Amino acid sequence: MFNIFGIGPLTLITFLPLIGLLIILAIPAGKDEKARELSTNLYRWLTVGFTFLQLVIAIVIYMNFNNALPGINDANTMQFVEKTPWIQLHGLPIFGDLKIDYYVGIDGISAPMILLTAIVCFVATFASWSIKKAVKGFFMMYLLLDIGMMGVFISLDFFLFYVFWELMLLPMYFLIGIWGGPRKEYAAIKFFIYTLFGSVFMLLVMIGLWFTSGTFNLLDLANPANIRPDQIFSGFGTTWRLWAFVGLFVGFAIKVPTVPFHTWLPDAHVEAPTPISVILAGVLLKMGTYGMLRIAWPIFPEAVKYFQEWIALIGMVSIVYGALCALGQHKVGKRDLKKLIAYSSVSHMGYVMLGIASMTSAGVTGAIFQMFNHGTITAMLFMIVGVIYDRAHTRSMDDFGGLANKMPVYTGMMAISFFAAIGLPGMSGFVSEALVFLGAFATYPLYTVISGLGIVLGAAYMLWALQRVFFGKLPEKWSGPWDPSGKLYKHDDINGIELTALIPLAVVVIFLGIFPTYITNMMTESVNQLIHFVTVNGQFTGL
């Protein structure tokens, strides 16, 4: 019903940036100073325009989303479905008939992610204003990345999912490797190879599943009735299936990232330019946990049950370990604020792991809601760091102090985002963390209570950072204006473009803190369906 010329809203929202990309490609960068400035502005506003259109479509999808339809394993209750044969090869040796569909659709666990991606991609464009080098290439890569991310969340075909998953790696590699900080090459390669390493497992499992069920359709793969006898992943609970689950899990866990696969994250975050850090933390990390819920959980339910406690343990360790490492940033090295926030991401994504391991409605709802909230809150945090880095060209907390009087509005925004990250009630992070805790406590009370340490440690490292940067006395070197020429920064305080990026996020964070049902209601049916499906299918084994 929302099809435009036969193109559904999901295809539209995913491939719209492609048009923007092509337009940018067509506009020459210009030779002299003036033409270059003009083209730079054009690239910026084109990207703003296309991501804004994306956001509008996302909102239209949100408005027309039917909360009562569960989706998950039921093709009939998937929404905005589009299904067309894509790659059809007949009579191949070994493989037989290879049928891959362009099969997209959303349910309660992917819909919030679509909305999140649209929001984060839109606001991150404003954070891209500070990009000065090779602007054309930057925005093209940016839009390509956008396509890859959206595609991952709409795919219902494993092969399609895989293609988008890999597609997103390429622009990310260049965005970090070209526009990044001093150690950009190292960080980019580390990110690329680490993720690729995980993808290999995913590819192997995907091929194994093809032999087992003869399809790439995720919904069909999840249906035990489709499993053929005597194939590699045929018998529930067999070693091969457990290993397959572990492989998939590692592939996704690298992306989340959970301890011990997390070390690419601090490097990538610290080196990436601000908008890319925002997208990395805001959207990319969620793909890991999303992949678990979309692929690993429904297809290997008995393995979920088998490894459930270990997954919860990994969640707990990530929470506490990430928080301690973030706190440790106050004690080691250059006291890099961005690195501190990168580690806080490890900790906060740990809540998601704990929640999805709990397999209770509160826990899983909380986990998906936490994915959304972490996306918006951490996006704010990285933008906040970006603002100060653009001006002072340092991120070391030792170099600051007393900024509260110099930049009062900025301080206000930072206080909102820091307290949101701490999980203060009235902000969305509290609701999702509380739901995760309440749900996880029913399954793993001990792990949950230990995870609570993350709350205390979170307050410690965040407030300490707040104090180091904003309170006390202003260092002598910042007493003058940021930019004496007055060209870049007219006022000391945060400027309009930066506020445009931050305010929508702050509004979303506070609004969802008070009215969480605007997101959670989307998920309720799907989450309960998922839990039911995984629990029931996980039962009939000898485990």
Binding site for another protein (CB under 8 A): 190, 193-194, 259-260, 262-264, 321, 324-325, 327-333, 361-362, 365, 402, 404-405, 419, 424-426, 430-431, 434-435, 437-438, 441-442, 445, 448-449, 452-453, 455-457, 459-460, 463-464, 467, 470-473, 516-517, 520-521, 524-525, 527-528
Rounded-to-integer distance, Cα 180 and Cα 499, Å: 23
Min dist. Cβ of residue 375 to another protein (A): 19
The DSSP call for residue 67 is T
Closest to another protein by CB, 137 vs 439, is 439
Closer to another protein by Cβ: residue 82 or 267: 267
Quote the least distance from Cβ 472 to another protein, whole Å: 5
Q: How far is the CB of 408 from another protein (least distance, A)?
A: 9
Q: Measured from the CB of residue 427, what is the shortest distance to another protein in angstroms?
A: 10
Q: Report whether 104 contacts 10 (CB < 8 A).
A: yes
CB nearer to another protein: give 34 or 331: 331
Q: What Rg value do the Cα atoms of the chain yield, rounded?
A: 23
Supply the minimum distance, in Å, between the C-beta of residue 180 and another protein. 18
Residue 322 vs 386, nearer CB to another protein: 322
Q: Which two tokens mark 61?
A: 């999808």
> Which residues are CB-neighbours of 203 under 8 A, at least 6 positions away?
162
Helix axes 337-358, 264-271, angle to 10 degrees: 130
State the greatest distance between any 2 C-alpha atoms of the chain, in Å, as a whole number.
75
- Looking at beta carbons only, is 118 or 323 nearer to another protein? 323
Q: Which is nearer to another protein, 147 or 326 (CB)?
A: 326
Least separation in angstroms between residue 164's CB and another protein is: 26
- Please say whether the beta carbons of 437 and 451 come within 8 A: yes
The tokens for 204 are 């192997």
Phi, psi of 32 (to 5 degrees): -90, 175
Q: How far is the CB of 532 from another protein (least distance, A)?
A: 10
Instruction: Report cis status (omega within 30 of 0) of the bond before 257.
Output: yes
Q: Calculate the alpha carbon distances from 19 to 12, 29, 49, 118 in Å.
A: 10, 18, 11, 16
Alpha-carbon gap, residue 138 to 56, rounded angstroms: 23
Comparison of 135 and 319: residue with beta carbon closer to another protein: 319
The tokens describing 270, both together, are 């610290």
Closest distance to another protein from the beta carbon of 517 (Å):
6
Of 377, 502, 491, nearest to 431 by C-alpha is: 377
- The smaller minimum CB distance to another protein, of residues 247 and 266, is found at 266
Residues 6+ apart with CB under 8 A from 381: 281, 341, 344, 417, 418, 421
Distance in Å, CB of 520 to another protein, minimum: 6
- Residues with Cβ within 8 Å of 298's Cβ and at least 6 positions away in sequence, in order, are 72, 73, 218, 221, 222, 530, 533, 534, 537
Q: Which is nearer to another protein, 162 or 470 (CB)?
A: 470
